Structure 1
């Protein structure tokens, strides 16, 4: 059950759209939302200051750092003001809080996330507004490091009407299936249950697991359309999502062992890159 949401924001257009998805989840589940803005610690480190300060000499560094800190404080205040007004415009005036920290987003989320049930963040941040073919490097670190489900949102909000669940019978997908069975969040939406047989040898086993998973979801009250796909998982799922006009993709995320990260890490990254819709990565 989702009771507390951690929304990562940096003032970028992507984070503004992430806020709209946070508002949607909050309205459906009644969850409280904490918006987190992290001032990048690296902006205040000596090499960065030297780049900005050039040949000013040692003396002005302190005042330059102070000016940068003041500017970051003003930015945080503006982001908080925008965040509260944006939630209010969505009809949410209670259960909203704001935190501002200095550090690295991936480290800060690891510290904060234990108190939350869902992390929401945009696919790219303010430093990658125009990097259309790449996911943000910070995002990948966050999703890899997080122990909580991460909803990675796209460039433009759209109403969620159809959901796809890419099931591979891994540990994270089995946990996600259990959560879906006990949760009301997505129960009113049709779910497209997908499994990918990448070669002929595992097609029978995939079909068996697909049928079992379909039955569990139907028994839990979902409207399910199950389909077996062939080929490379990333290509097959991304193509299906586009053809069927899916609004939200559910999938397992990076594993937490070195071997599992090596085996499936690139698949998760590739799906985040390819899909132009929100992706819920479940650990």
Structure 2
């Protein structure tokens, strides 16, 4: 695993994805690759027009239809290249010396699977209802990407803001401790203010676990704040984000608590949609 891979499309999220990918690449001191996927359902490379011959279609009309199909594919390729070139120029201006450009045909998940072994961090944008519909397949497949690709993923929302703090949703499980150790050993969030938040009914037990977690992350974080909440997980996280103006939410993709149910159950999309800041999902 050696690269930050940014999923770039033609929507309004592309700039933030590029900027967060640049930030991550510089923090991790690793290469940056910009990926644009031409979805095969939106940009067919060749249509099967042979079926209409039986309806008495003339040969020249069949040729015209084939030509239109080819022109459509050509325009899609040109648009894809322009999107990548624009993102590449933005990354270079931000200080990345040689960002790579990759263009793929197929579904987003299939394309990411092809690069999975080399991905250190995946950066992808979250689309909202107010976003334009250009290349909306990136947004619509977001949950599928998170469930399928076995690499850490940074999900962007809104404009780029270099993170100064992050909220780690902690549940005391083995996987949560492992995720916290990943954060502590990585340069990505080193020196930032870490907020450790735990949701549970037993405050005494939660405080004990939070203090243990604080010792783990204290060597990496610039400052550590621990917090306990008794309410439901999702509203507790959202309220804490708002109150403390947290720049980034960090969560493990697997666990054995209500947080696990929240991430892997039917409310996954709600969590992604409700967050007011980018999310870093750890595997």
Same fold (TM over 0.5): yes
Q: Do the aligned partners of 1:76 and 1:100 also contact (CA within 8 Å) in 2?
A: yes
**C-alpha deviations, 1:55-78, integer Å up to 9, x for none?**
997554422221121011101220
User: Which secondary structure state, in structure 2, belongs to the residue aligned with residue 86 of structure 1?
Assistant: helix
Question: What is the match of residue 234 of structure 2?
Answer: 234
1:49-68 matches, cutoff 5 A: 59-68=63-72
The CA deviation at 1:252 is 1.6
CA distance in 1, matches of 2:112, 2:66: 29
CA distance in 2, matches of 1:101, 1:125: 24
Q: Determine which of 76, 85, 109 is the counterpart of 1:106.
A: 109
Question: What is the match of residue 281 of structure 2?
Answer: 281
Specify the structure having the higher radius of gyration (Cα). 2
User: Which secondary structure state, in structure 2, belongs to the residue aligned with residue 159 of structure 1?
Assistant: coil
**C-alpha deviations, 1:209-264, integer Å up to 9, x for none?**
22211121124554210001121100100111011111111012268xxxx77883
**C-alpha deviations, 1:148-187, integer Å up to 9, x for none?**
0000001211121111111123454333211122122212
Question: What is the match of residue 266 of structure 1?
Answer: 266
Output the TM-score relative to the length of structure 2.
0.84
Q: How many residues align?
A: 268
CA distance in 2, matches of 1:36, 1:126: 23
User: Which secondary structure state, in structure 2, belongs to the residue aligned with residue 266 of structure 1?
Assistant: coil
Output the TM-score relative to the length of structure 1.
0.84
Worse-superposed segment, 262-271 or 238-247: 262-271
CA distance in 1, matches of 2:68, 2:129: 22
Q: Which runs of 5+ in 2 are unaligned?
A: 50-54
Q: Do the aligned partners of 1:8 and 1:37 also contact (CA within 8 Å) in 2?
A: yes
| Root mean square deviation, CA, Å | 3.1
CA distance in 2, matches of 1:204, 1:115: 43
The CA deviation at 1:193 is 0.7
Question: What is the match of residue 52 of structure 2?
Answer: none
CA distance in 2, matches of 1:279, 1:108: 22
CA distance in 2, matches of 1:203, 1:97: 49
Question: What is the match of residue 32 of structure 2?
Answer: 33
Q: Do the aligned partners of 1:35 and 1:98 also contact (CA within 8 Å) in 2?
A: yes
Q: Do the aligned partners of 1:144 and 1:254 also contact (CA within 8 Å) in 2?
A: no
User: Which secondary structure state, in structure 1, belongs to the residue aligned with residue 33 of structure 2?
Assistant: strand
The CA deviation at 1:188 is 1.1
Question: What is the match of residue 15 of structure 2?
Answer: 16
Q: Determine which of 141, 159, 164 is the counterpart of 2:162.
A: 159
Question: What is the match of residue 253 of structure 1?
Answer: 253
CA distance in 1, matches of 2:117, 2:19: 23
CA distance in 2, matches of 1:169, 1:49: 55
Q: Do the aligned partners of 1:10 and 1:125 also contact (CA within 8 Å) in 2?
A: no
The CA deviation at 1:272 is 1.1
Greater than 4 Å deviation, 4+ residue runs: 55-59, 125-128, 219-222, 260-263
